[in-house]
Amino acid sequence: MSIIEKARAKQQQKNLETSVKEAQYPLEEINRESIDASPKQELSLDKIALAERGYLIDNGTRKSIKDEFRKIKRILLNNAFGKAAKTLHHSNLIMVSSAKPNEGKTFVAINLALSIALEQDKTVLLVDADVLRPSVMRELGIEEQLGMIDYLLGKTEHVSDIIYNTDINKLKLIPAGKLHHLSNELLASEKMATLANELANRYPDRIVIFDCPPLIGVTETLVLANLMGQAVIVVEESKTSIVDIQAATEHLNENLALGLVLNKAIRSHKDLYGYYGYGYGYGTKN
Ligand SMILES: Nc1ncnc2c1ncn2[C@@H]1O[C@H](COP(=O)(O)OP(=O)(O)OP(=O)(O)O)[C@@H](O)[C@H]1O
Ligand SMILES: [Mg+2]
């Protein structure tokens, strides 16, 4: 049995246990102000450059990549809102990470967000939580704005100040914000936990995708993982071994719904660099 099949079998077994996990952070802590985007300029994405670099802009091209992301999206949405949601804490919060840097986390996080934004009835909030190497805004062709670090540092009081509407209907953003020497520690702070709780509970019909730092070497990523209901681990096929993946995921919270995305898989030897594929396995770790 492959690692993915084992994971799937384990998850099926787990789905039989329908214990509802208790919220770690009581609802009373939630500040009742609106956390939708406060009135400010809508951000425009550089759609032409995005499409050229393989991002899922809805221009009818790149059918194969769109289909791959659609499959992953269905699994994530089912976990978030279907039967499995009862067994997950914060099922609508999804982290995207990888064992090592540069495996395609941001690429996958943005594409998943764009794919979910195409759904009729779902809003998606993409959070740049890779506060050491933020790149979501750069990839989208948008200048850095006030963001999560600024909020966690108390430079801005309202969550709504760091949520931005975009010219893609149903896609909202929280940028990383200004780099700070304590960026990583802030990810593990109580305020971050409260923010995650607020995002999960205030808009339970909204998917929140966190582009996170890698798991190996950044201990705060594990702390962040404890706030999430689902994790998508991006694996660059030719770069990361099973041993690395195991080392990266073995300390993850075992209640997390865990999926692996195989990125940059080589399907055709005629076209080594021009084709990227995805494989997706879903289940709890091990
Ligand atoms: N499947 C893919 N198809 C085309 N380009 C890709 C693909 N995956 C990644 N890339 C490109 O590879 C580069 C690295 O990917 P990305 O920035 O998403 O990695 P990352 O894991 O977020 O890196 P970091 O650890 O620095 O945050 C980017 O230029 C990205 O656009
Ligand atoms: Mg990245």
Alpha carbon distance 165, 142 (integer Å): 12
Q: Which mutation among 68, 69, 102, 133 tests ligand 1's pocket best, with the greatest number of atoms within 8 A of CB?
A: 102
pLDDT, tens only, 153-205: 999 999 999 999 999 989 999 999 999 999 889 999 999 999 999 999 988 78
Q: Which ligand 1 atom lies nearest to the CA of residue 214?
A: 25
| Nearest ligand to the C-alpha atom of residue 218 | 1
Q: How confident is the model at residue 12 (pLDDT cuts 50, 70, 90)?
A: very low
Q: Which ligand 1 atom lies nearest to the CA of residue 139?
A: 31
pLDDT, tens only, 93-113: 999 999 999 999 999 999 999
pLDDT, tens only, 214-227: 999 999 999 999 99
Listed by start position, the domains of the chain span 52-100+111-122
Q: What pLDDT is stored for residue 55 in this prediction?
A: 85
Q: What pLDDT is stored for residue 21 in this prediction?
A: 31
Q: At 210, phi and psi to the nearest 5?
A: -105, 115
Q: What pLDDT is stored for residue 285 in this prediction?
A: 42
Classify 256 as helix, strand or coil: coil
Q: Exposed, middle or buried: residue 116 (CB in 10 Å: 0-12, 13-18, 19+)?
A: buried
104 CB less than 6 Å from ligand 1? yes
Which residues are registered as beta bridge partners of 123? 206
> How much is the pTM?
0.83
276 CB less than 6 Å from ligand 1? yes
From atom 9 of ligand 1, which residue's Cα is the shortest distance away? Answer: 104
Does the structure show a pLDDT above 70 at 59? no
Does the structure show a pLDDT above 60 at 268? no
